[in-house]
């Protein structure tokens, strides 16, 4: 067993886990089930979270690797009940159908817009290339990310307010 | 007050519709039709008046919880004391099972229950034919067949235990090509049943006469491949018994009532003792239209006396869940010089894989739609669904329609090329009109295929130079 200390969505957490435990498994064991397991081999992106601001597949990162790091998951997107512009735009555009890929896509989009809220549609496509969606055909997802980016750019890159 | 306004609006709509109908009849039939007594009112749909919701943007009720990550899919649910199940799958496409030794798995710490096919009270299910075992007991029919299953306190222990189950097989000759499977001398997969398990025939007019009269007869074989649905959420279920021997199953299954009936049949349990709780489904596309491991989870849960969760791995999804039928399609079509279809002969062979699943439905639909949205007065369709030792094909968006669409539209392009006719024109020449009969005699209403073709051609600039 190894001890891991991770700050998840701003909250310090600690756990003793077998060394082969993935970050995805640990997050879900902590009750943060928003992050999904789709393929368990880094193909589908449903488990995407941000590790020190960088998007990673939670199923391919060992929990021990995240020790001492800061992790953001979909549960941390809204603050005090205020939706993130991405969440608002996804709702308005009906970008999620079954919704299973959504948490991963939202986190990949967050990474992009945090760095570049004015990202072009082709930059959005590249940023989401690691996330598979089987329902929507991506059009409404890309539109929503672009709209959220425009809103964030208008607020000087601020996401919640 | 509001009610009155609503009534008035509805009356106005009806009145307008009737007038419209009369106008249409007059134009269409001239004086003779206009003299007819009390023509039946033809209601013209008026979007946003009769059907105020059509065309409106409405937020999806589940959008917000999907976006915040609150939505609970099966794998996000936990019951007290819940165990995790893993299925041991076949190592052969076709083999007799000589023995299954589970003793080593059962002896492992953390393993709470192990079941094999012999533990299933009624070991067969299927929406048309009950040809599929819950867990294979005497024979495996394809590589995805489960032969045993384990419930353990962790997924990892369940996985290790599955590896310690020893199965001895006696391999049998396997058939992978559906045309070979149709041969009388091919190994019978569900012996003594023949490998051809469903046939659909449609005969209309005289195709041979039509071919004799045609200026051009084209013949070609088209084929499509097997396709997996790949829902991002794999198949998932939880089974739990209460102390009065009532079973609750949470499942991502699309057909809840059918699943409940299959559970009752396979577990030999009165249906009123079973509750199937539908949940949020992370993608279905037809692939979650029948039970998979639900009875296995129920048996494990009863044996262990604890709730059991089972989630397919991505590998399980590909080898063990249903797929789209690969089709082999022979098309022969006779046309006039102008491009009018005189007759069409179609032979369809659907590779059903190891079990029937929804092949009956898919083949029927493929046969009916195989002539395309075109008026074909002389038609002969001969369609077969065939067993092979492969992952079974079942329901997937369109139930056999996309396969035949690929074939008839490809052949339309071939005919247009041969006759040097615009591919759009040849379709407009042959397409259904209002009231055209389908190949099985259904009179079609609200036919807009020509409008759709013209609108689409206009939108993507079909007539512009360079196309």
Q: For the segment B49-72, what is each residue's pLDDT rounded down to a tens digit?
A: 777 777 778 888 999 999 999 999
Q: Which residues of B touch A22 (CB under 8 A)?
A: none
pLDDT 10s digits, B341-395: 999 999 999 999 999 999 999 999 999 999 999 999 999 999 999 999 999 999 9
Residue appearing with tokens 């009388």: B184
Tell me the shortest Cα–Cα distance from B323 to chain A, in angstroms: 15
- Point out the domain boundary residue: B320, B351, B374: B320
If asked whether residues A148 and A122 sit together in one domain, one would say: yes
Judge: A98–B233 Cβ closer than 8 Å, yes or no.
yes
Q: Is residue A160 part of a domain?
A: no
CB contact B80 to A (< 8 Å):
no
User: Across the interface, do A106 and B66 touch by the CB < 8 Å criterion?
Assistant: no
Cα end-to-end span (Å), chain B = 58
Is A55 part of a structural domain of the chain? yes
Same domain as B102, residue B207: no
Chain B residue numbers with beta carbons less than 8 Å from the beta carbon of A103 are 69
The pLDDT score that the predictor gives to residue B46 is 67
**Domain-located, residue A13:** yes
Is A93 found in the same domain as A61?
A: no
Instruction: Please report whether residue B51 resides in a domain.
Output: yes
Q: pLDDT tens digit string along A64-117?
A: 999 999 999 999 999 998 999 999 999 999 999 999 999 999 999 999 999 999
Strand partners, B364: none
* Together in a domain, A90 and A67: no
B282 with A102: Cβ contact below 8 A: no
CB–CB of B358/B394 below 8 Å?
A: yes
> Quick one: closest CA in A to B397, which residue?
A135
Residue A159: pLDDT band (50, 70, 90) is: low
Same domain as A120, residue A137 = yes
- Out of A41, A75, A135, closest to residue B69 by CB: A75
Please spell the DSSP secondary structure of B403-453, one letter per residue. HHHHHHHHHHHHHHHHHT--HHHHHHHHB--TTPBPTT-PBP-S--HHHHH
Say yes or no: B189 and B208 in one domain. yes
Co-location of A71 and A97 in the same domain: no
For residue B193, the number of C-alpha atoms closer than 13 Å in the C-beta half-sphere is: 15
For residue B55, the model assigns a pLDDT of: 76
pLDDT over 80 at B24, yes or no:
no
Joined together, the tokens standing for residue A119 give: 């990202």
Q: Residues of B with CB below 8 A from A83's CB?
A: 64, 67-68
Q: What is the average per-residue pLDDT within A37-44?
A: 96
B72/A134 Cβ within 8 A: no
* pLDDT given for residue B49 in this prediction: 72
Residue B108: per-residue pLDDT: 98
Partners of A132 on chain B (C-beta within 8 Å) are 230, 232
Contact A98 B59 (CB under 8 A): no
A118 and A138 share one domain: yes
Tell whether B61 is covered by a domain: no
How many separate domains does chain B show?
3
Confidence grade of residue B12 (pLDDT, cut at 50, 70, 90): very low
Q: Is B316 exposed, middle or buried (0-12, 13-18, 19+ CB in 10 A)?
A: buried
Mark whether B436 and B335 lie in a shared domain: yes
Cβ of A98 and B285 within 8 Å? no
Please give the radius of gyration of chain A, using alpha carbons only, rounded to the nearest integer.
Answer: 15
At residue B125, the pLDDT reads 97
Question: What residue numbers bound the domain in which B255 lies?
Answer: 74-172+232-320
Report the range of poorest mean pLDDT among B33-47, B187-201, B416-430: B33-47
Nearest to B283 among A32, A94, A134 (CB): A134
Q: Is residue A147 part of a domain?
A: yes
pTM score of the predicted model? 0.89
Residue A159 resides in a domain: no
Residue after which a domain boundary falls, among A18, A47, A76 = A76
Please report whether residue B145 resides in a domain. Answer: yes
Number of domains in chain A: 2
Residue B465 inside a domain? The answer is: no
B311 and B404 belong to one structural domain: no
Tokens of B236: 């998932």
Same domain for B383 and B309 = no
Smallest CA–CA separation between B461 and chain A, in Å?
Answer: 22
Among A114, A110, A26, A34, residue whose Cα is nearest residue A67: A26
Among B231, B216, B334, B232, CA closest to B287: B231
From B289, B320, B351, the end of a domain falls on B320
Residues A72 and A97 in one domain: no
Give A-chain residues touching B73 at CB under 8 angstroms: 36, 100
The answer to the question of residue A96 being in a domain is: yes
CA distance B283 to chain A (A): 6
- Between helix B449-459 and helix B423-430 the angle, nearest 10°, is 160
- What CATH number is given to the structural domain containing A106? 1.10.150.120
Find the CB nearest B283 among A37, A78, A98. Answer: A98
Out of A11, A43, A76, pick the residue that ends a domain.
Answer: A76
Q: What confidence tier does B31 reach under pLDDT thresholds 50, 70, 90?
A: very low
Statement to judge: residues B388 and B345 lie in one domain: yes
In this structure, what CATH number is given to the domain that contains residue A8? 3.10.20.30
Final residue of a structural domain among A45, A76, A107 = A76
- For residue B138, is it within any domain? yes
> Does B185 lie in the same domain as B143?
no
Would residue B157 count as lying in a domain? yes
Is residue B417 a part of any domain in this protein? yes
* Per-residue model confidence (pLDDT) at position B36: 55
pLDDT digits (tens, 9 = 90+) for B202-257: 999 999 999 999 999 999 999 999 999 999 999 999 999 999 999 999 999 999 99
pLDDT band with cut points at 50, 70 and 90 for residue B332: very high
pLDDT digits (tens, 9 = 90+) for B156-211: 999 999 999 999 999 999 999 999 999 999 999 999 999 999 999 999 999 999 99
In this structure, is residue B15 part of a structural domain?
Answer: yes
Instruction: Look up residue B241 and give its DSSP letter.
Output: E
For residues B242 and B356, membership in a common domain is answered with: no
> B45: pLDDT confidence band, cut at 50, 70 and 90?
low
Burial class (CB in 10 A: 0-12, 13-18, 19+), B450: middle
Q: Are residues B104 and B223 in the same domain?
A: no
Do A65 and A108 sit in the same domain of this protein? Answer: no
The domain containing residue A61 runs over which residues?
A: 2-76
Task: Tell if the CB–CB gap between A96 and B67 is shorter than 8 Å.
Answer: yes
How many whole angstroms separate alpha carbon B381 and alpha carbon B200? 8
Give the CATH number of the domain where residue B415 resides. 3.30.365.10
State the average pLDDT for chain B.
91
Q: Which residue has the higher pLDDT, A158 or B310?
A: B310
Q: State whether residue B59 sits within 8 Å of chain A by CB.
A: yes
Say what the pLDDT of residue A121 is. Answer: 97
B68 touches chain A (CB under 8 A): yes
Q: Do B233 and A94 touch (CB under 8 A)?
A: no
Residues B168 and B297 in one domain: yes
Residue B25 pLDDT > 50: no
Given an 8 Å threshold on Cβ–Cβ distance, is B232 in contact with A74? no
Query: A with B: how many residue pairs have Cβ under 8 Å apart?
Result: 100
Is residue A51 a part of any domain in this protein? yes
Question: Is the pLDDT at A160 greater than 70, yes or no?
Answer: no
Q: Kindly state whether residues A95 and A148 are assigned to the same domain.
A: yes
Is A106 part of the contact surface with chain B (CB cutoff 8 Å)? yes
The predicted pLDDT at position B317 comes to 96
In this structure, the answer to whether residues B329 and B217 fall within a common structural domain is yes
Closest chain A residue by Cα to residue B314: A39
Q: Record the tokens describing residue B273, joined without a space.
A: 């003792």
Q: Which of B261, B296, B320 is the last residue of a domain?
A: B320
- Same-domain status, B135 and B236: yes
Same domain, A6 and A70: yes
Domain match, A72 and A30 both: yes
For residue B310, list its beta bridge partners. B85, B237
Which of A46, A98, A141 would you mutate first to test chain B, the one with the most B CBs within 10 A? A98
Same-domain check for residues A46 and A95 = no
CATH number, domain with residue B298: 3.90.1170.50
């Amino acid at each position: 067993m190894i001890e891991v200390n991770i700050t998840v969505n701003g909250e310090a957490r600690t756990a003793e886990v077998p060394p082969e435990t993935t970050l995805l498994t640990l997050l879900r064991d902590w009750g943060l089930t928003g992050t999904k397991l789709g393929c368990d081999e880094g193909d589908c992106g449903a488990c995407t979270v941000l590790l020190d601001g960088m998007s990673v597949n939670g199923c391919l990162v060992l929990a021990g690797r995240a020790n001492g790091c800061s992790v953001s998951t979909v549960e941390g997107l809204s603050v005090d009940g205020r939706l993130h512009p991405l969440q608002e735009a996804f709702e308005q555009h009906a970008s999620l159908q079954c919704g299973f890929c959504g948490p991963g896509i939202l986190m990949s989009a967050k990474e992009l817009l945090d760095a570049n809220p004015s990202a072009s549609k082709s930059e959005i496509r590249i940023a989401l290339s690691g996330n598979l969606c089987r329902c929507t055909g991506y059009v409404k997802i890309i539109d929503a990310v672009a709209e959220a980016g425009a809103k964030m750019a208008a607020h000087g890159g601020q996401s919640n307010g | 007050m509001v009610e009155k306004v609503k009534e008035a609006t509805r009356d106005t709509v009806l009145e307008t519709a009737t007038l419209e109908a009369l106008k249409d009849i007059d134009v269409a039939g001239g004086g003779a039709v206009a003299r007819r007594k009390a023509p039946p009112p033809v209601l013209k749909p008026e979007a946003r008046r009769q059907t105020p919701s059509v065309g409106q943007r409405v937020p999806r009720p589940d959008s917000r919880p999907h976006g915040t990550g609150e939505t609970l899919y099966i794998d996000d649910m936990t019951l007290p004391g819940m165990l995790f199940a893993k299925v041991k799958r076949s190592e052969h496409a076709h083999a007799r099972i000589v023995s299954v030794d589970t003793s080593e798995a059962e002896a492992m710490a953390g393993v709470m229950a192990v079941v094999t096919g012999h533990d299933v009270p009624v070991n067969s299910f299927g929406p048309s034919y009950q040809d599929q075992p819950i867990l294979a007991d005497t024979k495996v029919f394809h590589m995805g067949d489960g032969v045993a299953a384990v419930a353990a306190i962790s997924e990892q222990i369940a996985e290790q235990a599955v590896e310690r189950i020893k199965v001895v097989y006696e391999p049998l000759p396997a058939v992978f090509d559906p045309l070979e499977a149709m041969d009388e001398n091919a190994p019978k997969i569900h012996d003594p049943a023949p490998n051809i398990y469903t046939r659909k025939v449609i005969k209309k007019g005289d195709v041979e006469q039509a071919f004799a009269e045609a200026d051009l007869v084209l013949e070609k074989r088209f084929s499509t491949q097997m396709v997996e649905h790949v829902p991002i959420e794999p198949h998932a279920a939880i089974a739990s018994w209460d102390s009065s021997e009532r079973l609750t199953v949470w499942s991502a299954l699309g057909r809840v009532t059918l699943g409940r009936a299959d559970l009752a049949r396979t577990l030999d349990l009165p249906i009123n003792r079973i509750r199937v709780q539908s949940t949020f489904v992370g993608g279905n596309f037809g692939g979650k239209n029948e039970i998979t491991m639900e009875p296995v989870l129920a048996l494990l849960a009863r044996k262990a006396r604890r709730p059991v969760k089972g989630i397919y791995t991505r590998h399980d999804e590909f080898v063990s869940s249903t797929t789209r039928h690969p089709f082999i399609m022979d098309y022969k079509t006779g046309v006039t010089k102008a491009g009018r279809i005189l007759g069409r002969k179609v032979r369809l062979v659907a590779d059903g894989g190891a079990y029937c699943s929804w092949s009956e439905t898919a083949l029927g639909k493929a046969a009916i739609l195989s002539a395309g949205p075109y008026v074909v007065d002389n038609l002969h369709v001969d369609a077969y669904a065939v067993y092979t030792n492969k992952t079974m094909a079942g329901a997937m968006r369109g139930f056999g329609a996309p396969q035949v669409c690929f074939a008839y539209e490809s052949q339309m392009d071939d005919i247009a090329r041969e006759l040097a006719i615009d591919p759009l024109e040849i379709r407009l020449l042959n397409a259904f009109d209002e009231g055209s009969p389908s190949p099985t005699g259904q009179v079609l209403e609200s036919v807009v295929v020509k409008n759709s073709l013209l609108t689409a051609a206009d939108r993507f600039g079909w007539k512009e130079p360079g196309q």
